[in-house]
DNA sequence: GACTTATATGTGTAAAATACATATAGATGA
DNA sequence: TCATCTATATGTATTTTACACATATAAGTC
């Protein structure tokens, strides 16, 4: 079950980065290259170039995204990715799952904050922890895909 | 990158269930058996008995929890698990990571809600989605560990 | 013609998730 | 006493993920 002495890296990479990819593509068509940049600016620190392109191809095979070559710009041809109808459906399903996650996390922090009160009686009241969402723009994720 | 046609199972099992285990044990001592029940009531639908006991042993090896035999009750002796100091520290680290998760999720839903407005112009305004946390007690997680 | 940009694929390793089977042993009760 | 229940524990096999890094191709740019 893994070594609990080394740093925890809490990153269900594929599961976590995929919905963001679909979400981005649902709002704009992007080249793989742009997508990487967007993901990075969203907080995915390291995105492995090779694996991302591979994923995109897989998504296209599965008909969740589609692409067309875009020539004419500067540099070599770029593949412009868009989301498909199926991709949108899939994204919706993902959103439901993520919502469930959020619920679990809320549950966790609700318990955790009262846990803090147990161990650190002087701990500032609930709200500072319980809804720490919306918080500091920390960039966290170490997803490499 | 997995088959995108089958149902998504979005469950970083270990990473997700472990903080809950530590959290529960930080608030009360529990037998493995009770722990399973608690986890289930928290939304972890299926928790594999064998793997959970194995995990507990590992956590004890790593000194995040400790246990003592409890005889005298009904049935066979039970091992009563408690959290250790190190376990509490570890839980705190986990909480930080989960907080980051929450931030990412918030980010996702913020974007996602405006995505819905794009595709479904009549979609009810932001708040119903964006902070869907605290919501319905859905039981979601399929964690088997 | 070297260099940059963009896309793409190959390959390997380690860890994790998952799923079942099996074992042991005390307690309970017919 | 024998079957059953409860509780803990371990074995093991398969597949998927995560991660990392190397390499390839090809069109543009300077």
Q: Which positions on strand D lie below 7 Å from a protein C-beta?
A: 5-11, 16-23, 26-29
What local confidence, expressed as pLDDT, does residue A34 receive? Answer: 95
Strands (E), A76-139: 78-83
Three-state secondary-structure class, residue B83: strand
| Residue labelled with tokens 């020539």 | A71
What local confidence, expressed as pLDDT, does residue B100 receive? Answer: 85
**Chain A residues within an 8 Å CB radius of B53:** none
What local confidence, expressed as pLDDT, does residue B44 receive? Answer: 86
What is the distance between the alpha carbons of residues B9 and B109, in angstroms, rounded to a whole number?
19
| Residue labelled with tokens 């004419």 | A72
The whole-number average pLDDT for the span B104-119 is: 84
What local confidence, expressed as pLDDT, does residue A47 receive? Answer: 87
Q: How confident is the model at residue A119 (pLDDT cuts 50, 70, 90)?
A: low
Burial state string for A87-106 with b = 16 or more CB within 10 A and e = fewer than 16: bbebbeebbebbbbbbbbbb
Residue pair B66/B84 in contact (Cβ under 8 Å)? The answer is yes
- The verdict on A77 touching B (C-beta cutoff 8 Å) is no
Q: How confident is the model at residue B119 (pLDDT cuts 50, 70, 90)?
A: low
pLDDT in tens, B54-81: 999 999 999 999 999 999 888 899 999 9
**Strand C atom within 7 Å of A43 CB:** no
A75 CA to C8 C1' in angstroms comes to: 17
Q: Enumerate residues 124 to 143 of chain A having a beta carbon within 8 A of any beta carbon in chain B.
A: 131-136, 138, 140-141
**Chain B residues within an 8 Å CB radius of A119:** 26, 88
Note the helical H segments in chain B.
Answer: 13-27, 32-42, 49-61, 85-119, 127-130
- Domain spans in chain B, listed from the N-terminal domain onward: 13-130
Looking at the domain B13-130, which fold is it?
Arc Repressor Mutant, subunit A (1.10.10)
Q: What is the mean pLDDT of chain A?
A: 78
| Backbone CA torsion sign across B32, B37, B38, B40 | positive
Residue pair A64/B4 in contact (Cβ under 8 Å)? The answer is yes
Please state at what angle helix A85-119 crosses helix B13-27, rounded to 10 degrees.
20
**Chain A residues within an 8 Å CB radius of B8:** 15, 90, 93-94, 97
**Strand C atom within 7 Å of A19 CB:** no
């Amino acid at each position: 079950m893994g070594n609990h002495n080394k740093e925890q890296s809490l990153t269900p990479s594929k599961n976590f980065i995929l919905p963001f990819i679909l979400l981005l593509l649902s709002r704009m068509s992007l080249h793989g290259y742009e997508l990487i940049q967007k993901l990075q600016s969203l907080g995915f620190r390291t995105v492995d170039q090779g694996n991302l392109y591979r994923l995109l191809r897989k998504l296209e095979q599965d008909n969740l995204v589609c692409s067309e070559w875009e020539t004419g710009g500067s540099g070599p041809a770029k593949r412009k990715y868009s989301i498909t109808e199926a991709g949108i459906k899939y994204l919706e399903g993902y959103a439901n799952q993520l919502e469930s996650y959020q619920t679990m996390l809320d549950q966790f922090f609700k318990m955790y904050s009262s846990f803090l009160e147990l161990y650190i009686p002087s701990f500032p009241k609930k709200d500072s922890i319980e809804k720490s969402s919306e918080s500091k723009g920390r960039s966290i994720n170490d997803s490499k895909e």
